[in-house]
Structure 1
Amino acid sequence: MISKAQFDFEIENIIKNAIREDVGDGDHSSLACIPVSASGKAKLLVKDEGIVAGIDFAKKVFENVDKNLKTEVLIKDGSHVKYGDIAFYVEGSSQSILKAERLVLNAMQRMSAIATKTNTFVALLEGTGTKVLDTRKTTPGIRALEKWAVKIGGGENHRFALYDMIMLKDNHIDFAGGITKAIDKTKAYLNKTKRDLKIIVEARNLDEIEEILKSDGVYRILIDNFSYQDTRTAVKMIGNKCLTESSGGINEETIRKYAECGVDYISSGALTHSVHNMDLSLKAV
């Protein structure tokens, strides 16, 4: 996983790029009708139900736009919210509040949707010992926000990107000439480059599980698109040799059944690519 410093760097870049994209050479709507000296106060109003996420991000946005903006947080990230709740107040320059408004709302609406969906999956796995993972199926440019939201919702992050973990999937295996060759080449590469990266290998059937198990140094086996029965068989075959992860179209109806097969993790792209934004508004008070 990436370091806190790298994560903070990603968040800072998201904010800077988003403000550049949205503000350009000026918020002319506000500049045209609101005096520079005008001050005001606004509230983050919840108009939906679920797990709120992005409040700490909103504070970073306000600080980046105007260090003199003051935020009073009433509800913390990860809390369950309902229609009519007020998550926070922000006070200061009216122009600054308006400049930050859309970025704050866009981010919080999506982050809250992801946190809510993740929390639903986590609740469905209660008592099984299986953990929920996200994937790289994220919105380009804001991956850090979406993975942050997964954590807020109670899930865990998979690798952040291509550089912080080795994941040998079907195409890597086929291009490399097979599972064993892919693993051997990977270990040689890590040794040559002196990199300490965990190795995950995808299996498409039980025969591939058997072949993977012949190689040492595999951190986790990705049991991809297996039936319940074959997943249970795979888990027994793997035993304590490495960790296990199920994936492939797993949803609210099937996630519990896969967990009961005994896998350590279940990864789902749906956490980040199939959500409906939470309805939030920033209103002047």
Structure 2
Amino acid sequence: MLTQQTIHAAVAAALAEDAPYGDVTCETTIPADETGEARLVAREKGVMSGIDVFAAAFATLDPSVTVEPAIRDGERFEAGQTLATVRGRVRVLLTAERVALNFTQRMSGIATMTAAFVAAVDAIYEDGYDGSAGPAFGVVGPRRYTRTRIVDTRKTTPGLRPFEKYAVVCGGGHNHRYSLSDAVMMKDNHLAALAARGIDLAGAIRHVRDQVGHTTHIEVEVDRLDQIPAVLDGGADTIMLDNFTLDDTRRGVETIDGRAIVEASGNMTLERVAAVAATGVDVISVGALTHSVRSIDLGLDWA
């Protein structure tokens, strides 16, 4: 997903945006041949994502710049920890600094938030769990996976989707469909359009199945329990329970009974996600991972 070609194209565009006619400050204050060294330092703890993107920001301006990572994507870091060392011409280091940090800070923020959601869900399967996900329910395991998966959505920053979805994986999450081309996802408006043509819910799913290849996955969103039998009858591969209460989510899981992947979605928060996972859903999609994330505070300090 996050190829070197994708990284180069995005970084080059960001550098062109930030210094379209050069860096006037560096060009008037720093000798062209002056070299130096700087360290990427964490100002707070988090999970790393984007170390190759960080390096690419400097290499795009000058391939002779060297970046020595002290951490790999997906690894945790503490405040004050050195994450990479950069050596090269000072003009290049200063010109690329903000672009390098912008990418890495945001990606690490996404990875860090994802890791927090994953940890909240994983806790319910550990020995000695205190029952805070909802003692009235207990914990029901998902049917399709060992543990409920945290996944992203398409609520990403335009032009940065590959970076943001990669960061989710660095945080221990999984990706939902990458684009509209990847799978069928029938939501309320799609179903309403088909219903206006006299096609019922089960018939709508069969209508789609007749037109797509056998490898195409079909997901259907429902917002009421009474829609589930028709969706099962139509043969959906995944059923999304949208904005269900915990009681209704558990009933939905019981009704579906492993006949489709069960996804929970809708205003998912860190405080609520463990309780939703405890109902036995296979997947929880969290738009906040990319649309409401806070960048991690990283800095470039001169050695």
Does the alignment reach a TM-score above 0.5?
Answer: yes
The farther-off stretch of 123-132 and 56-65 is 56-65
Q: Which residue, out of 211, 225, 247, partners 1:189?
A: 211
Does the 8 Å contact 1:172/1:182 carry over to 2?
no
2:86 counterpart residue number: 90
Distance 1:208-1:7 versus aligned 2 partners, 3 A rule = farther
Residue 102 of structure 2 is aligned to residue 100 of structure 1: no
In structure 1, runs of 5+ residues without a counterpart are none
Partner AA of 1:171 in structure 2: N
Of the three residues 193, 198, 208, the one matched with 2:217 is 198
* Gap change, CA 1:219 and 1:10, over 3 Å in 2: farther
Q: Which residue number corresponds to residue 261 of structure 2?
A: 243
Q: Which residue of 2 is the match for residue 284 of structure 1?
A: 302
Q: Give the 3 Å change call, closer, same or farther, for CA 18–185 of structure 1 in structure 2.
A: farther
SS in 1 for 2:119: helix
After superposition, the C-alpha distances for 1:27-78 in whole angstroms (9 at most, x for unaligned) are: 1211122122121111101111221222122122222222111111112222
Please say if residues 101 and 282 of structure 1, whose CA atoms lie closer than 8 Å, have aligned partners that are also in contact.
yes
Within 5 Å, give how 1:191-230 maps onto structure 2. 191=213, 196-216=215-235, 218-230=236-248
How far apart in 2 are the matches of 1:274 and 1:246? 19
Q: CA deviation at 1:79?
A: 2.1
Aligned to 2:116: 120
SS in 1 for 2:211: helix
SS at match of 1:57: helix
Amino acid at match of 2:88: G
Q: Counterpart in 1 of 2:136?
A: none
Following superposition of structure 1 onto structure 2, how do residues 1-285 of structure 1 map, counting pairs within 5 Å?
4=1, 7-126=3-122, 127=125, 129-177=147-195, 178-191=200-213, 196-216=215-235, 218-285=236-303
Distance 1:98 1:269 in 2: 34
Question: Structure 1 pair 103/182, CA: closer, same or farther in 2 (3 Å)?
Answer: farther
Say whether the 8 Å CA contact 1:39–1:94 is kept in structure 2: yes
What TM-score does the superposition give when structure 1 sets the normalisation length? 0.91
* Distance in 2, Cα, partners of 1:131 & 1:8: 28
CA offsets, 1:249-281, max 9 Å, x none?
Answer: 121121111111111100001111122221111
Runs of 5+ consecutive residues of structure 2 not aligned to the other structure: 126-140, 142-146
Deviations 1:177-204 (A, max 9, x none): 253343233223324xxx8421111011
Query: What TM-score, normalized by structure 2, do the two folds share?
Result: 0.86
Provide the C-alpha distance between the structure 1 equivalents of 2:63 and 2:189, rounded to a whole number of angstroms: 48
Q: In structure 2, do the counterparts of structure 1 residues 237 and 8 end up closer, same or farther at CA, with 3 Å as the change threshold?
A: farther
Distance 1:182 1:59 in 2: 49
How many angstroms apart in 1 are the aligned matches of 2:180 and 2:250?
Answer: 29
| Aligned-residue CA RMSD (Å) | 1.7
Change (3 A) 1:19 1:246: same
Cα pair 1:244 1:265 within 8 Å, conserved = yes
Contact 1:203 1:222 in 2 (8 A): yes
Residue 129 (structure 2) aligns with: none
CA distance in 2, matches of 1:136, 1:7: 19
Q: Deviations over 1:130-185 (max 9, x none)?
A: 01000011111211111111111100011111111221111111122253343233
Question: Contact 1:70 / 1:91 at 8 angstroms: preserved in 2?
Answer: yes
Q: 1:189 to 1:27 in 2, by over 3 A?
A: farther
